[in-house]
């Protein structure tokens, strides 16, 4: 695996190092030792799948608050998405900044998201599926979110006018400190 830290400290784009031949390729998408060697939490409490029927589907911006804050590792297993994280760590020099990566089934990139980040994505094609590894179990009482188009962050979504949202994601409040 190739770990590349984003401009947001502690958040990494991870590329699968492919061993290719005529049959295709083999690559490692997770290794407890390599994650720990990078200073990343290798704990996996649960794995989730998000399937999204339509291009333009936007899910986010979600996070889980303490004491159940979580790290996430995610990869697009079918289709493609525009994946966004926002640094909500008040003590961070990149507080309220965001980064986006395009994750597709072909590029096999992954995104490691530390505790203290909000996360969301917009699907770029129909029938997009995302696989998540979570460091903490889901606790509904700790579920939080900020609005996907909150002007405090100024996130530039690729399919601006074509956004399919749940009522919950549409109704998240503006961010306030």
Residues marked active site are found at 62, 132
26: helix, strand or coil: strand
Indicate the length of the chain as a whole number. 177
Q: Which residues pair with 130 in a beta bridge?
A: 50, 76
> What is the DSSP code string of 54-119?
STTBEEEEEEE-TTS---EEEEEEESEEEEEEEE--TTSTTTT-EEEEEEETTT--EEEE-TTEEE
- Which is it for the CA torsion 8, 142, 74, 167, positive or negative? negative
Secondary structure element (H or E) that encloses residue 134, with its range:
strand 128-134
CA distance 71 to 85: 12
């Amino acid at each position: 695996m190739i770990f590349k830290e984003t401009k947001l400290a502690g958040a990494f784009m991870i590329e699968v190092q492919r061993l290719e031949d005529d049959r295709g390729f083999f690559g490692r998408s997770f290794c407890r030792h390599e994650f720990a060697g990078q200073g990343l939490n290798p704990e996996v409490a649960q794995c989730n799948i998000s399937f999204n029927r339509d291009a333009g589907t936007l899910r986010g911006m979600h996070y889980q608050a303490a004491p159940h804050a979580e790290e996430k590792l995610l990869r697009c297993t079918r289709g493609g998405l525009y994946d966004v994280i926002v640094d909500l760590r008040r003590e961070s020099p990149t507080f309220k900044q965001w980064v986006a990566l395009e994750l597709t089934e072909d590029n096999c990139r992954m995104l490691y998201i530390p505790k203290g980040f909000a996360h969301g994505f917009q699907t770029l094609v129909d029938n997009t599926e995302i696989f998540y590894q979570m460091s903490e179990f889901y606790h509904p009482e700790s579920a939080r979110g900020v609005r996907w188009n909150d002007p405090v962050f100024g996130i530039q979504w690729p399919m601006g006018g074509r956004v399919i949202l749940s009522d919950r994601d549409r109704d998240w409040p503006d961010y306030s400190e």
